[in-house]
Amino acid sequence: MIETALAWAAGHEELLLWMAGLSLLLCILSILALPFLASMIPEDYFADANRHQPHLRQRHPAIYMMIWAAKNLLGWLLVCAGIIMLVLPGQGLLTILMGIVLSDFPGKFALERRIASNAKIMHGINWLRRRAGRRPLAAPTAGNE
């Protein structure tokens, strides 16, 4: 089986180089985008039991739908790329998390609140926010589930 995989890799060197380059690019973009995304979260996003309405909804419905579709397409592409990066070089988990943040799906807000209730994760997010000059996020409370 290993010989078959090595033979396949030898026959597809260009594809593997492109995949490695894409993986490196996504890794760099993920690391650069994470502080920006963390600084854009409203302070009470996780503390408020009701989901915030996106500012995009204030735009024309056609523009909103195009932006929504592009954002979700990019999000799910990042999730797929992150899954692939779990076995190839790259920041698979970070890329998956960025894809989840960009995507819209049922139960997303509850998942975000569950993740944010972890003290270490909240500390990391607030560290990024402090570096960006933003106030810390209010942690989700158990009573607002």
Any alpha helices (H) in the chain, and if so which ranges?
2-11, 13-40, 61-85, 92-102, 108-116, 119-131
Higher pLDDT pick, 52 / 33: 33
Spell out a b/e string for 113-143, using b for 16 or more CB atoms within 10 Å of the CB, else e.
Answer: beebeeeeebeebbebbeeeebeebbbbeee
Please give the average per-residue pLDDT across 49-60, as a whole number.
Answer: 68
pLDDT at 73: 94
The pTM score is: 0.60
Give the chain's mean pLDDT: 81
pLDDT at 72: 93
Q: Is the pLDDT of residue 29 over 50?
A: yes
pLDDT at 93: 75
Binned at pLDDT 50, 70 and 90, residue 107 comes out as confident
Longest dimension (CA), the chain: 57
